[in-house]
Structure 1
């Protein structure tokens, strides 16, 4: 990893925003050229799924897309993004989950029904004995389509709700929870969000298809959330990318890692030592 990536290190203002609000927006994270290349690959996959029977009127949720094209792989340790991820979570991390979503126009009338607000990680939120629940992971969402206006299948969030174990849902499930807002961003924007942030997808009442790539980073002792068939990419990857793709010396290395398990730690000792506590 080139030390020049440290120009994108997490700032104290960004840390404060993420800790207080549970999310962080980075505009122009992707160049127009990157957006064009990634969009072409999402379109290719989406069209192939439709050819194989996917309903063109429903959203496509497609996990484990990293091996499908090198442009997806390049974002695993993207220099503008990964420094902010380790700035929040530390060095004992990897990509435990990735999925793309393409949400076509719903063709339905707009209504005010409450969206499906949730925290990520399923049973973790039931079985972890702590308050507030632990952060454990975050996601980075790369937006490829223009959702700078509402009603385009926007991702909805409740800022600051990552510190709440429960969310009050409106009676009769009409309207959205207090404080909920749509995330309205331009193509090329990256949105970081804490897994605990209460959030929801929404119907696409527009005439464009919403396209987003989600990269989930968590601690290396967390199991993968999808198949993550990326092992064949390890050999051609540099050490830090291999770590992000889940490589390890042995199982115990997920709990008591050596430098061989976590080359990011050794790199940080040299280039950003304040990020290495022990």
Structure 2
């Protein structure tokens, strides 16, 4: 990592916003040029999936896209974003989860049916014995399409709900939970959100295709959530990128890491020592 990335370190205001609301919006995380180039790579994959038979009327959920283009790989340790991730989670982290989603126009009339509200991580929310549930991980969503208006397949959230283990739903399954809002952002925006934040994907009632890349960061002792075939990228990656891609000296290093397991810790000791208290 170039020490210049520290200009993008998590601020106390950003920390407070994330801790209180469960999410953080970073406008202009990607430049217009970056957004255009990444969108071009995204569109090629989407077109290939359509040619292979994917139904153009349904959303494309495509994991394991990191190896498909260097532009996707470069976002794994992106200088404007990773410092904020380690600012929230610490240094013993890696990319455990990544997927791209293309949501085409639904072709359906708008309705007020209750969305599919959930917290991430599946069985974690049943089997962890704590309250509130532990943070464990977060996602960064890079929006490539314009969702600054409503009804474009917006990501909906209930701010502050990450500290609640349940969410009251409308009894008749019409309308949304109290306090629910759509996240409306321009292309190039990155949205960080706590895995515990109650959120929902929504139908796309517009004429635009919604395009988003999700990068999920968690502690190195968490198993991967997707089939991430990235080990072939280790050899040509920098030490910190290799850590983000799941490299470890051995299995025990995920629980009791050595310097070789977590080069980010050594880098932070030199450049941001307040991040390495323990």
Using structure 1 for the length normalisation, give the TM-score: 1.00
Aligned to 1:199: 199
Aligned to 1:20: 20
Paired residue secondary structure (1:85): helix
Aligned to 2:72: 72
Distance 1:81 1:190 in 2: 8
Distance 1:217 1:173 in 2: 32
Distance 2:65 2:169 in 1: 33
RMSD: 0.4
4+ residue runs of structure 1 moved beyond 3 angstroms? none
Deviations 1:46-82 (A, max 9, x none): 1111111110010000001000000000000000000
Using structure 2 for the length normalisation, give the TM-score: 1.00
Which consecutive unaligned segments of at least 5 residues does structure 1 have?
Answer: none
Paired residue secondary structure (2:172): helix
2:91 equivalent to 1:91: yes
Paired residue secondary structure (1:87): helix
Aligned to 1:256: 256
Deviations 1:123-150 (A, max 9, x none): 0000000000000000000000000001
Aligned to 2:9: 9
Which consecutive unaligned segments of at least 5 residues does structure 2 have?
Answer: none
2:36 equivalent to 1:36: yes
Q: How does 1:41-56 map to 2 (within 5 A)?
A: 41-56=41-56
Distance 1:45 1:108 in 2: 25
Paired residue secondary structure (2:246): coil
Q: How does 1:1-278 map to 2 (within 5 A)?
A: 1-278=1-278
Deviations 1:211-252 (A, max 9, x none): 000000000000000111000000000000000000000000
Distance 2:45 2:170 in 1: 37
Distance 2:26 2:269 in 1: 26
Distance 2:259 2:130 in 1: 31
Distance 1:62 1:41 in 2: 13
Aligned length, in residue pairs: 278
Distance 1:108 1:130 in 2: 41
Distance 1:135 1:241 in 2: 23
Paired residue secondary structure (2:61): strand
